Structure 1
Amino acid sequence: MKGGEDFFRPLWIRALIVAACAGWAVLEWINGQTGWAMMAGAATAYGVWSFLIAYEPPKQD
């Protein structure tokens, strides 16, 4: 493991990060903090794209 790049290899870790961002967005929306909800929603959308759709595990040496 070089530099922690294998940390994101398991799907459950990547899904947990996305779920945490989504939960943060919902929490902020419920509390009426629309700006923070949009920021967390954007982080969720980026996480879905980078961690679930476009993710390619690092090559093994």
Structure 2
Amino acid sequence: MHKLFDLDHPFFRPLWRRLIIIAVCLGWGVFEFVMGNPFWGTLFAGLGLYCIWGFLFDHRPRTESDSKTE
């Protein structure tokens, strides 16, 4: 299945990287809401929630054998 964002990419294997990306998205969403931009605030908050789901609850990083079969 083709995805818009490959959340299982090896770059995202370390937990600290996933947490920083989530924090930046949610933080930017809060910033946009505070600055009076509800469209961008909703967009970035939604992206942050998507990343929470994809990085923490549904995260299955690829293994060496998975990448050889593609």
TM-score w.r.t. length of structure 1? 0.86
The structure that is helix-richer by fraction is 2
What secondary structure sits across from 2:10 in the alignment? coil
Residues 22-41 of structure 1 mapped to structure 2, 5 A cutoff: 22-41=26-45
- Percent of aligned pairs with the same amino acid: 37
What secondary structure sits across from 1:13 in the alignment? helix
Residues 12-60 of structure 1: CA distance to partner in whole angstroms, max 9, x if unpaired? Answer: 0001000000110010010010111000111011000001110011123
Provide the C-alpha distance between the structure 1 equivalents of 2:37 and 2:10, rounded to a whole number of angstroms.
Answer: 35
**When the two structures are aligned, how many residues end up with a matched partner?**
57
Provide the C-alpha distance between the structure 1 equivalents of 2:14 and 2:22, rounded to a whole number of angstroms.
Answer: 13
TM-score w.r.t. length of structure 2? 0.76
2:40 is aligned with what amino acid?
W
Unaligned runs of 5+ in 1: none
Unaligned runs of 5+ in 2: 1-8, 66-70
1:21 is aligned with what amino acid?
C
